[in-house]
């Protein structure tokens, strides 16, 4: 029983660390602000949530201590991190940061021109 718990906790923490690493590679490798933001806000959110859940499981199942602050942190990051990504992208678009050369579709451009937002 205890070994199974340890393996589950290790899987959660390794998946979280791996997703954070993927987010870091995405920020380095991707071409423009919007794709970088896409990588950073999605992969890092899930990665951090996974690490926090692994830590919560460790303290609850191994140490016998129910730490509600970790659960609150998971909910908090799940709510705020995508909003932060949205606001950064919006600020970048409104200050006129160009899209990648090879992107073909920009719905927001026509909306901004027609003053619809």
Partner 1 sequence: MRSNNNIILETTMKVVLFIIVLFSVYIFFAGHYYPGGGFIGGLMTSGAIVLLLIAYDIKTVATILPVNYRTMTGIGLLFAIGTSAGSLLFNVPFLTHAFGHIEVPILGDISLHTATLFDLGVYLVVVGVTMTIIQTIGEDE
Residues that bind partner 1 (CB under 8 A): 69, 72, 75-76, 79-80, 83, 86-87, 117
d(CA 13, CA 43): 14
| Residue closest to 58 by CA, chosen among 69, 47, 48, 66 | 66
Report in angstroms how near the CB of residue 31 gets to partner 1 at its nearest. 26
For the record, the structure tokens of 110 come out as 């026509």
For the record, the structure tokens of 12 come out as 């959660």
Report in angstroms how near the CB of residue 82 gets to partner 1 at its nearest. 9
Cβ proximity to partner 1, 10 vs 72, nearer residue: 72
Cβ proximity to partner 1, 15 vs 88, nearer residue: 88
For the record, the structure tokens of 55 come out as 């830590």
Report in angstroms how near the CB of residue 45 gets to partner 1 at its nearest. 14
């Amino acid at each position: 029983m205890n070994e199974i718990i340890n393996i589950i906790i290790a899987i959660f923490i390794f998946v979280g660390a791996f997703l954070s690493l993927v987010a870091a590679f995405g920020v380095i490798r991707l071409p423009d602000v919007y794709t970088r933001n896409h990588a950073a806000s999605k992969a890092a959110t899930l990665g951090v949530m996974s690490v926090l859940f692994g830590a919560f499981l460790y303290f609850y199942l191994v140490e016998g201590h129910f730490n509600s602050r970790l659960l609150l942190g998971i909910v908090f990051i799940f709510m705020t991190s995508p909003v932060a990504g949205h606001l950064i992208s919006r600020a970048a678009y409104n200050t006129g940061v160009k899209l990648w050369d090879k992107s073909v579709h920009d719905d927001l451009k026509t909306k901004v021109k027609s003053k619809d937002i």
